[in-house]
Structures are given as structure tokens and as C-alpha cells.
Structure 1
Amino acid sequence: MERFFGLKEKGTNIKTESIAGLTTFLTMVYIIIVNPAVLSSAGVPFEQVYMATIIAAVTGTLIIALFANYPIAIAPGMGLNAYFASVVASQGVSYQVVFGAVFFAGLLFLLLSFTKLREMLIESIPSSLKYGITTGIGLFIAFIGLKMSGIVVPSEATMIAFGDLHQPVTLLTLFGLFLTLTLIARNVRGALFIGMITTAIVGFFFDLLHFEGIVSMPPTPVFFDIDLAGVFTNGLYTVVFAFLLVTIFDTTGTMVGVAEQAGLMKNGKLPNVKPALMADAVATTVGSAFGTSPATAYIESSTGVAAGGRTGLTSLVVAVLFIISAFFSPAISAISSLPAITAPVLIIVGCFMMEGLARINWKSFDEAFPAFAIILAMPLTSSIATGIAIGFITYPLMKLVSGKGKEVHPLIYVFGVIFIIQMAFFPAH
């Protein structure tokens, strides 16, 4: 094992890598609770999502461990799961159709991983749009957390209003939120997971949480419960593009950031980059076939790197721990059914995604407004795809009218025209 992962060359050992793997797992294991909770709201059976989440995480993380030798873990991403649920609700399509869109996005992702088109796509999209998209998704999922918990509620007069703090679930959410914020402020590893478990214990004592079991054999996975034809009959092309684009940004940015932190970058480039990028694409494709939203590299992997993780052995430990978690479906099912446990995670992860705001050049209006339009549109339209479309339309237009049209990559003009046609003649309902 030491020779396979090159532990000595990287200045690490089995004990350090194992502790790093456990650290990463504890910081991201919240996804096996939150993902089923979010996708269940779209009608996907809990047990199907639960197993699909674990299968996608194990598949992607094992590939990156064994073929890329990176201490990076992969699992279904936050934000895209909420977008998945919003597509089902807003467009009146079945979840099987949206899984079809995720499957096609995964296949396109795989194809792009074999070519230089992926790099061209990433390089062509201006930073202000990338940061605007990430920030908009952050607001989008934080808003979902606020709605789930009853902290904000619908209002005829003002669209939304502050909720009733006397409601038990809302009170428990606020307790979980402030507890988790305190743990994060104190730099406690696994703060999100510890916060969820503590909130669950409090909910149990106040009769808000009911268990019908803790451990059982893993649920039987459901394979290929998807509708590929429905993607075309419902014209979900923008949805496919949104899944693809956001997953590419998330994974590429996370991998570069974590690899840099671990000292794995060589001359500004990632060695073994193809298997690393393919891991995410394969996990997304496989995950959709079993029943979950797109997978992405997890920024939480940086906690494992901080604990000394430098090789794929860290990721292998994460994958093994995800496999073990498959035996706890009764407990996870009960926990994910109580919004007060999962809502604080959505709100806090939304905050984490605000980091890109500082990198947008707000003094340059033709850069700032398209980012602002994306950030505004995503939570207010409950659609990541609509936000992306508005950004890709306004950016080239702003550059053209300000006399900077030559600064825009030709691909952005192409996407801008496509999105204008799509919004004018094939709008989402």
C-alpha cells in the first residue's frame, strides 16, 4: 500500500492518511442526510437517493484514489440537488426525466474530459460569471433552508415574510444553526455533522424525531429509473447545460484549490489531471443511473489535507467509510425527514459559497452587472439555469455597448444567442 500510493515520496504514512480520510469524511458525511432530504421533496424515494448518493460518492472517490492518487473526495454536490428539485416542481416533469438530464450532462462531461474542449470552455467564461454563478447558487440553497425550516414563509403582501418562531421545528432549526455556527467559529472539525447529530438528539428528546431502527442491511439500489426521451420532449437542454456547466466549475476549482494546498501542483499544472477530472464525470453518470443529482469534488477535502493527507489513500479511507454508512439507512431516514436538522447545513453552505463575491470587479460595471443579474435571478426564479442564461446574455451585451466587444470570447456570443432564442421561444414554465 505504501508503494502503490507513494507514501514515502509524499512524506506521509498510513496512520496520517487514515486520520486525514476520517477528517474529510466527517466534514462531508452530512451529504448522505441532506441529499435524500432535498431530492425526496421532488418525489424521489428516500432509499433510492440514499443508496445512489453513496454509490456516486464511492465510485468517484475510488477512481480519484486509485487512478489519480489525490486526497480529494467526490459526492453529489450541494446546490445542484436543490436545483434538481426545483426543475421537477417548476417544469411539471417527473424526477425520472430530470435524472435523464443529469445522465446526459454526465455523458457530455465524460466526452469533454477526453478533449481540450473542457479547458477551452473554462477559459472562455469570464471570472465574473463564474463567481456570480457560485454565489447565486449559494443564495438559492440558503433560501431553501430558510423556507424548509419556516424561518421565512410565503406572504401575499410581500411575497415572503419572517416566520413564526413559536413553531417547534423553527425553534429547533435556530438552535441547530447557532450551535453549528459556534462549532465552525471554534474551528471544530466535522462541525456540520456534529451540529446535525446534536440537533437530532435534542429533537428526539422533544418528540420531534422518531426512529424505527438504527442499523439494517443496505436498501436495494434502483438502477436506471430514468426517462431519456423526456429530456427531448420537454426541451430540457438548458437544464442539461446548467448541470454540466456548474459541475465543471465546481470540480475544476475545487481540485486546483485542494491540490495547491497539498503541494501537488507542478509548474502550475495538475499531474494525472485526466483521471481526476473523469472521476467526477463517471460519478455523475453512474449516480444519475441510480438516482441522484450531479457529483462534484468536495472542498471539504481541504480539511483532510490540513490533517496531513497527501495521497489517494486518504480518498480510499473516505470511500470505505461511505460504504459502511450504507448500513445506517433507518437512522439517516429519520434524521433527514426533520427539516430542522438539514436546514442549518443549507444556510451555512450557502454562506460558504459567497466567497466569490470578493473576487468580482464591482468597480467595472460591465463586469459587475452580469454577475449581479445572475445572483439576483437564481433565488428569485428558483432556477440556476435561468440565472446562467441571464448572465450569458447580459455579459456580451454589456461589453458590446461599452466598446469592449473584442474582449469577449466567441463562445460567449454563441451561448448568448442560444440563450436568447431559448428564453424567447422555449421558456421554462
Structure 2
Amino acid sequence: MFKLKEAKSSVKTEIIAGFTTFLTMAYIIIVNPIILSDAGVPFQQAFTATIIATLVGTIFMALFGNYPIAIAPGMGMNAYFAYSVVSKASGITYQLAFSAVFITGILFIILSLTKFRTHLIEAIPNTLKHAISAGIGLFIAFIGLRLSHIIVAHPSNLVGLGDLHSPGVILTLTGLAITVVLFALNVNGALFFGMASTAIIAGLTGQLHLKGSIFSLPHLPEKIIIANPITAASDVIHYGLYSVVFSFLLVTIFDTTGTFLGVASQAGLLKNKDDKRTGRAMLSDSIGTTIGAMFGTSPTTAYIESSAGVAAGGRTGLTALVVAILFIFAAFFSPLVNSLSDVAAITAPSLIIVGCLMIGSVRHIEWDNFEEAFPAFLVVITMPLTSSIATGIALGFITYPLLKVIKGKVKEVKPVIFLFAVLFLIQLIFFPH
């Protein structure tokens, strides 16, 4: 099934690679439910939905794509969902927000079945791609700093430095130091081991209290949140969630595609082009997103952490299958994860470091070219300051073609970018979110 001989691999190698990938991305089992619970999603629902979405996307990638790439809810999209989309002020509940994710998944499936997905990625300027990634990184890091109270509200300057003597801040800084050292030493699973070390310290200092047992049988979700496309579409239209759907769609499309191509290329799996196999692999994240929304989690994406498994020798879908099996075992630890969710210091270092890794994309932006630099700057600066990925994307897509027109470089802009600029302008003026 996995054609191990053709890939010049073995069962042992694939299993080791699967374990390696799992350790590098296991933090999402803890971080994702915690972030979604801040939006009101019941913790157990979010935890189980995270497992289900990961299993569906990763198993589909393993069995139908035969690639050593894992799928799971993406960092950035979960934070955007919890802290920007869901809003008491505008009446957007998490149930309504999942309608937007569900529609995103369906549109993603449709696009993945056509070549439009590839054309769309090619049309988006590299400047905006890199800026969006960097902006999301800053957004995630800011959330980590805020949740751990390293940064707090300030009466005159909006934000300021928190109390560095408080137990929570000291624990966060300790966990951050441990994780940074592990990263610097190139330890596979640095984020996971950093969280584990911080949790142990939290237990020893009395900041972590276990809620009963550590293990329990996996629970099925309490309910299916959304399953009717007509109802979901009606929610999106009624509450004007167009920019939310587009933001989810845009980010997941080029994030997943970029990760997929990068990891597959690293594994040497793109030399013999197989469009049918690649097409099936591209469907995995869109299916994971759709199923995940039904049970209660934000959009899924291909995980760049899969590159660690590839570096360990993973070359086939067996690596991804091992990752999926390990996530099944992880489902038995929901009481432990629920206990960890009460201590922000355990997950905050991961958010800060993931933000650091994502902001590295700014090095690819042409900062000496103003019509490239300014739209990128707007994207990067507005995402964390407005707590809205959609707003950052909108300002970037509006200013980029405008500056190109002013510079007389209209031919450098694809027609679809002008269309997006008009749509985003209408959204910001008449349907601000």
C-alpha cells in the first residue's frame, strides 16, 4: 500500500519518523483546545474535535496521498477564530463562527478538485504571502505574551510590561528559557518537551492542580455543531462573515500548499510528478477542515513539523499513519490536558516561539522597494494591533495594487488581485468586522 521499496524506506524508519513528527507537533493537542475554549467552546468538545480533525486529515493524507505529512488545526487560524471572529459585541458566537469554517472547508474542497487553487496561489504576490505569515506570527506571539501577563493593559499606552515578580510570569519566563534552549540545541519535540518541563515545574510550585485522574476513555463530541451547508451559508450571509471565510480560505490555501510542496520537495517526492496523487493529498486538509468544523475546531493545515519526520527518514504515508495512531492514544489524556489548560504559562512559550518562527518570513520581503514594502508593513503591523488577521489581509490587498497603479506597474498585478481589493474595500466600509 505504501510502496516502501519504491521509496527506499522501511517499516522501522517510517515508525521512527512518525514518532518524530508527532513529538514536534504534539503541542497542538494542548494549545488548540485551550485557545478555542477562550471563545466559549467547551474544552472537551474542542479537545475531541482537535483529535478528530487531525485523524481525518492525516489518515486521508496517509492512505490516499501516501505522503509523510501530518494534518492538524493550524496555529494562527485558531487564535484568529477565538480572539477576532468570535465577539460578544457583534453577536458572533462560536457556533456562528464554525459556520464560516464549515463553508471555508466546502469551498476548499471544491478548489482542491480544480486547478483554480494553484492559479490563486500563483496570482497572490509573494510579498503579501510572506507578510501574512509574519503578521500571524506577531499576532500569535502577542497572544502568548498577553495570556501569560508578561504584557498587560496600560492606562495611557494601551499595553505595558507586567509584574515580573508574579508566579505566573516567572513560570512563563522559565518555560520560555527551557524551550529556547531546547530549540537552540535542535532537539526534536522542543515545544512539547518545553511544555512538559513547565508543567512539572508548575506542579512542584503548586501552580498546577490535577483535576482527578490523568487518563480517561475518549469521549465522543457532545454534539455536531454544524452539518447543514445551507444553514452555514445563511449564517455567513446574515452576519456578513465574508471576510472571515476569505481570510480562512486564503491563509489555509497557500499555507497548506506551501508546506506540502516544501516538505514533499525535502523528501524528494516531487521528482516524478503524479498529479492524481498530489490532488488527493491536497484534499486532505480541506476535508479535515470541514469535518473539524462540524465537531468544533478551527481550520486544519499541513504541518511544517512534518519536515522533522522527513529528516528522520519518513518517505511514505506510513509515517503519517503512525502520527494518526499516536493522536488516538493522546485522546486518552484529556483530563491531564484539561488540567494543563488552567495554567497559561505552560502554553504561552509555545505561542511566543511559533510566532518567532513565523515572523522569519519578513526576510523575503523587498524592503528597499516601497510599493512592495508598505503593503507588507501594513499587513504585519495591523494584524497584532487590531487582533484581526482579516483586517491585515484586507489592507494589504487594497494598498498593493493601488501602489502598483501609481508606479505604472499595472501589468505586475493579476486581475484577481484587483477584484479582491474592491471586495475588501467594500467589506471594510460597509461590513466592518
TM over 0.5: yes
- Contact 1:223–1:291 (Cα < 8 Å) also in 2: no
**Of 39, 52, 70, which aligns to 1:55?**
52
2:296 matched to which residue of 1? 291
- Contact 1:218–1:329 (Cα < 8 Å) also in 2: yes
**1:219-234 aligned within 5 A:** 219-226=219-226, 228=232, 229-234=234-239
Matched, 1:301 2:298: no
Report the CA distance between 1:405 and its aligned residue: 1.1
Matched, 1:17 2:14: yes
2:200 matched to which residue of 1? 201
CA distance in 1, matches of 2:318, 2:103: 31
CA distance in 2, matches of 1:221, 1:40: 14
- Contact 1:124–1:412 (Cα < 8 Å) also in 2: yes
- Contact 1:25–1:318 (Cα < 8 Å) also in 2: yes
- Contact 1:264–1:270 (Cα < 8 Å) also in 2: no
**1:396-411 aligned within 5 A:** 396-411=401-416
1:330 matched to which residue of 2? 335
Give the secondary-structure state (helix, strand or coil) at the position aligned to 1:161: strand
Report the CA distance between 1:225 and its aligned residue: 1.4
Amino acid aligned to 1:29: A
**TM-aligned CA distance change 1:268 to 1:66, over 3 Å:** closer
1:141 matched to which residue of 2? 140
Give the secondary-structure state (helix, strand or coil) at the position aligned to 2:159: strand
CA displacement 1:319-350 (0-9 Å, x = unmatched): 00001111110001111221000000000000
Q: Aligned Cα RMSD in Å?
A: 1.2
Matched, 1:32 2:29: yes
CA distance in 2, matches of 1:98, 1:170: 32
1:369 matched to which residue of 2? 374
1:313 matched to which residue of 2? 318
- Contact 1:59–1:282 (Cα < 8 Å) also in 2: yes
Amino acid aligned to 2:398: I
CA displacement 1:60-116 (0-9 Å, x = unmatched): 000000011000000000000000012113643100000000000000000001111
Give the secondary-structure state (helix, strand or coil) at the position aligned to 1:272: helix
CA distance in 1, matches of 2:160, 2:152: 5
CA distance in 2, matches of 1:183, 1:296: 25
2:257 matched to which residue of 1? 252
Give the secondary-structure state (helix, strand or coil) at the position aligned to 2:286: helix
CA distance in 2, matches of 1:310, 1:71: 6
CA distance in 1, matches of 2:325, 2:171: 32
CA distance in 2, matches of 1:164, 1:6: 56
Report the CA distance between 1:408 and its aligned residue: 0.5
**TM-aligned CA distance change 1:402 to 1:269, over 3 Å:** farther
**Of 59, 64, 68, which aligns to 2:65?**
68
**Of 281, 295, 298, which aligns to 1:276?**
281
CA distance in 1, matches of 2:69, 2:225: 29
1:266 matched to which residue of 2? 271
Matched, 1:157 2:162: no
**TM-aligned CA distance change 1:271 to 1:115, over 3 Å:** closer
Report the CA distance between 1:362 and its aligned residue: 1.0
CA distance in 1, matches of 2:374, 2:80: 23
- Contact 1:239–1:385 (Cα < 8 Å) also in 2: yes
- Contact 1:259–1:270 (Cα < 8 Å) also in 2: no
Report the CA distance between 1:9 and its aligned residue: 1.2
Q: How many residues align?
A: 425
CA distance in 2, matches of 1:390, 1:218: 43
Q: Which moved more, 1:24-33 or 1:225-234?
A: 225-234
Report the CA distance between 1:269 and its aligned residue: 7.5
Amino acid aligned to 1:386: T
CA displacement 1:269-289 (0-9 Å, x = unmatched): 866111111000000000000
1:216 matched to which residue of 2? 216
CA distance in 2, matches of 1:337, 1:311: 38
Give the secondary-structure state (helix, strand or coil) at the position aligned to 1:9: coil
2:429 matched to which residue of 1? 424
CA displacement 1:146-193 (0-9 Å, x = unmatched): 000000000111010000011111110000001000000011111100
- Contact 1:33–1:336 (Cα < 8 Å) also in 2: yes
Amino acid aligned to 2:237: F
Give the secondary-structure state (helix, strand or coil) at the position aligned to 1:313: helix
Amino acid aligned to 1:294: P
CA displacement 1:230-262 (0-9 Å, x = unmatched): 322210010000011100011001001100110
CA distance in 1, matches of 2:79, 2:91: 15
2:170 matched to which residue of 1? 171
- Contact 1:392–1:419 (Cα < 8 Å) also in 2: yes
CA distance in 2, matches of 1:66, 1:269: 15
Runs of 4+ aligned structure 1 residues displaced above 6 Å come to: 267-271
**Of 86, 89, 112, which aligns to 1:88?**
86
1:395 matched to which residue of 2? 400
Amino acid aligned to 2:283: M
Give the secondary-structure state (helix, strand or coil) at the position aligned to 2:152: strand
Give the secondary-structure state (helix, strand or coil) at the position aligned to 1:345: helix
Amino acid aligned to 1:409: K
Identity across matched positions, percent:
59
Report the CA distance between 1:267 and its aligned residue: 6.3
- Contact 1:256–1:270 (Cα < 8 Å) also in 2: no
User: Where do 5+ consecutive residues of structure 2 fail to align?
Assistant: none
Report the CA distance between 1:11 and its aligned residue: 1.0
